[in-house]
Amino acid sequence: MTIEVKVPLLPESISDATVSTWHKKAGDRVSRDENIVDLETDKVMLEVPAPADGILKEIVKATGSTVHADEVIAVIEEGAAQEKEAPKPATSTKASETKSAAASASKGAEQVLSPSARRAVAEHEVDISQIAGTGKGGRITKENVLAAASTPSQPAASQPFQTPSPMGARPEQRVPMTRIRARIAERLLEVKQNTAMLTTFNEVNMAPVMEIRNKYREKFEKKYNVRLGFMSFFVRACAEALKRAPIVNASLDGNDIVYHGYFDIGVAVSTDRGLVVPVLRDADKMSMAEIEAKIVESAEKARSGKLSLEDMQGGTFTITNGGVFGSLMSMPILNSPQCAILGMHKIQERPVVENGQIVIRPMMYLALSYDHRLIDGKESVTFLVSIKEMLEDPTRLLLEV
């Protein structure tokens, strides 16, 4: 009995998808609920599980094809027996035995791949037969694959652009932009064209936050089983500052100003496919531990392509941290339809003047980009100063003063 594999119902506002990666090929055995193909939309990655056990009889839509909801993309022969190998002659050579053993090892390794590892294998074209899994039960994790990909194992001649062109021309490579990257480019261009974006800067002495973090880090991690980072301090500070400046938490809808009575703060996460912004719902009601745990969960989902559209919709304000990549100062672009975004940067020791004395302090530049059509300079500066004051005196976060 044959079963059709169809494109699942696509999220609202998404009309089609692109076949990104097939994790199986025609003739391979598949298991019910096993992810067999990834579909890329302009917002999220979707996994399509096998509807039944059997053999992948036919791939109807090849990689790169555009597909729509409920469209047939593959056919599975339910319960089909795996084709047996032809018996080998008793006088098989040592080379053929070695080849068979390698194939078996490769097949065995494939069976213990995690979903995120399968995607990494497809992206980096790693030979999984050469990878030792460190996950539970010997599963090969994404980290195992990335570690193998970063270890040179191919001859230089097989690397891209190593072989010069016969005509002596300088080499180049042309690849199509992914749907997610294309959508990001489109949205950023819209923001630049359709808003009066302005950026204001300030700097914050991170010594008080660093002191608290160093003092309580071990106790915090032991109690909550999550790392105490800087982002939770910034999320809490932003939530309190937004309460004092409701216009920064607002958005524009035509000629109407929409004031949001909740504080859904997005935290930008960098992935191989581009920047995504999972949202912390009601961030003002979350504890530091809840914020840190949610950030870790969202980052893992983002990098493994598991974020849903619901995870990224509805934010009222965004925080982005270029400091993790070493950025000292930048002008972040608004995350439409939001009207403000905070940019964090690298913490760097600098000489500053305190009480008439030059001292060295761990300083961070903060940048607030905002839509000047809605937010005036006074409001943006006041908001940024509020964040600075709360981070330089974290007791204010506890007392909400």
Please provide residue 315's backbone torsions phi and psi, each rounded to the nearest 5 degrees: -65, 150
DSSP of 182-231, one letter per residue?
Answer: HHHHHHHHHHHHHS-EEEEEEEEE-HHHHHHHHHHHHHHHHHHSS---SH
What crossing angle do the helices spanning 207-224 and 288-303 adopt, rounded to 10°? Answer: 80
Distance CA 100, CA 193 (A): 60
3-class DSSP state of 172: coil
Which stretches within 12-114 are classed as H helix? 94-111
| Maximum CA extent, the chain | 90
Query: If 0-12 CB within 10 Å is exposed, 13-18 middle and 19+ buried, where does residue 287 land?
Result: exposed
Non-local CB neighbours of 379 within 8 Å, separated by 6+ positions: 245, 247, 248
Name residue, tokens 């090849």: 62
Active site residue 42: no
Q: Give the number of other Cβ atoms within 10 Å of residue 178's Cβ.
A: 17
Q: Which of 28, 272, 282, 376 is catalytic?
A: 376
Cα 313 to the center of its chain, rounded Å = 15
Q: Which of 16, 53, 284, 372 is catalytic?
A: 372
Active site residue 372: yes
Please provide residue 320's backbone torsions phi and psi, each rounded to the nearest 5 degrees: -130, 140
- List the one residue out of 258, 261, 301 whose CA is nearest residue 277: 301
Query: Nearest 10 degrees: CA dihedral of 8, 11, 12, 16?
Result: -70
What crossing angle do the helices spanning 142-149 and 115-124 adopt, rounded to 10°? Answer: 20
- Alpha carbon distances (Å) from 395 to 160, 209, 392: 54, 10, 9
DSSP 313: S
Count Cα neighbours of 119 within 13 Å in the Cβ-side half-sphere.
19
What residues act catalytically? 372, 376
